[in-house]
Amino acid sequence: MSSVIDGKSVAAAVLEECRAEVTELKSRGITPGLAVVLVGEDPASQVYVGSKARTCIDLGIYSRKIELPATTTQDELITVVRELNADPAIHGILVQSPPPKHIDEEAVIRALDPRKDVDGFHPENVAKLALEDKTGFVPCTPAGCMRLLAAAGVPTAGAEAVVIGRSMIVGKPMALLLMAKGSDATVTVAHSRSKDLPAICRRADIVIAAVGRPEMVKADWVKDGAVVIDVGINRIEDPSKKSGYRLVGDVAYAEVAPKCSAITPVPGGVGPMTIALLMKNTLQAARQLG
C-alpha cells in the first residue's frame, strides 16, 4: 500500500511559515517585494504569473506584475530587469519562462542581480548550490521536492536516488540537493541518452521523474517500496473533460502507485510546492538584502 504525498497540504504548511516570516520582517520595517515580469501573452504563463501574484498578496508580500508586449526586445527587457535590480522595494525578480523566441533567456538571467534571483537560475546561484553555500537561492521546484521527501519522512542518507532529467530548472539542481551533505543520497542522473532506463530506475529507493513525457515511468521500472516524486506536468487529450484535456505526470500513476511506499499525485503533488518555495526564496532575499 502506498501513501499519497499531499503537496497541497505540505505547500500550505510552507505558506504558513512564510506568513509568520512576513510578519516578523514587517515588524523590522521590511516589506518583502516580488516583481514578476511576463513578456508576451502565453496563456499558461499568464496563469502562473496570476497565481504567484495572488499568493504574494495573500501573504502580505508586495507584488508587482510587469506585463510587456511580445515585441519587446532583449535590450528593452534587460533595461526593465536593471531597473528592478536597483529598486529597493523589490527583493525578488522573476522573469517568467519561456520568453518569446527572439530573446536569449540566458542573457536575461545573467542581467539579474543574483541577490534578487529568486528562481536560482543565475550562474552565481548555480555555483552556490554546488558549493552548498546557503546564501544562494535554490530553484523552487527541486527545493519543493526536498520538502516533500522530508514531510513524508523519507530517509535520504545512503538511499539510492535516480533523477530522470538533467535540466537546469529541475534535474541538475535536484541531483545536487540529494547528494549534498545532510541529504547524503547516492545519486544517478538519467537523461534522454541513458541506456536501459528501466534498469537504472529499478535500483532506486527514490525516483524523481522530471522529463515531460506523459506516463513514461511504468510499474516494472519501480522497485517494490520505492518513493516516487513525479515532477512532470503534461496535458493529454481527454474528450470527457470540458477543457478537452487533463494533466498527467511523467509516471503511470495507476500502475506505479500500488508498488510504492509513497508517491506524489499530478496534479496536487510537486506543483503547489513550486509557488510556496518561490515565496520562501523571496523572504530569504528580503532578509539578506535587509
Q: How far is the CB of 147 from ligand NAD (least distance, A)?
A: 13
Q: What share of the chain is helix, strand, coil (3-state, %, to 5)?
A: 45, 20, 40
As a whole number of angstroms, the distance between CA 95 and CA 30 comes to 23
Q: Of 74, 85, 167, 188, which one interacts with ligand NAD (CB under 6 A)?
A: 167
Q: Of 32, 33, 40, 232, which one interacts with ligand NAD (CB under 6 A)?
A: 232
**Choices 174-182, 208-216, 236-244, 256-264; region in contact with ligand NAD by CB under 6 A:** 208-216
Q: How far is the CB of 268 from ligand NAD (least distance, A)?
A: 10
Q: Which is nearer to ligand NAD, 114 or 142 (CB)?
A: 142
Q: From the candidates 117, 119, 230, 250, give the one annotated as an active-site residue.
A: 119
Q: Of 32, 114, 171, 265, which one interacts with ligand NAD (CB under 6 A)?
A: 171
Check if 96 is active-site. Answer: yes
**Binding residue count for ligand NAD, defined by CB under 6 A:** 24
* Tally of CB atoms within 10 A around 179: 17
The answer to whether 16 and 45 are in contact (CB under 8 A) is no
The answer to the question of residue 169 lying near ligand NAD (CB under 6 A) is: yes
**Torsion sign across C-alpha atoms 20, 21, 23, 24:** positive
Three-state DSSP class for 189? strand
Angle formed at CA 285 by CA 279 and CA 288, multiple of 5 degrees: 140
Over the Cα atoms of the chain, what is R_g? Answer: 19
Pairing of strands 245-248, 234-237: antiparallel
Q: How far is the CB of 142 from ligand NAD (least distance, A)?
A: 9
Residue numbers of the site for ligand NAD (CB under 6 A)? 141, 164-167, 169-171, 190-192, 194, 197, 210-213, 231-234, 270-271, 274
Active-site residues, by number, are 52, 96, 119
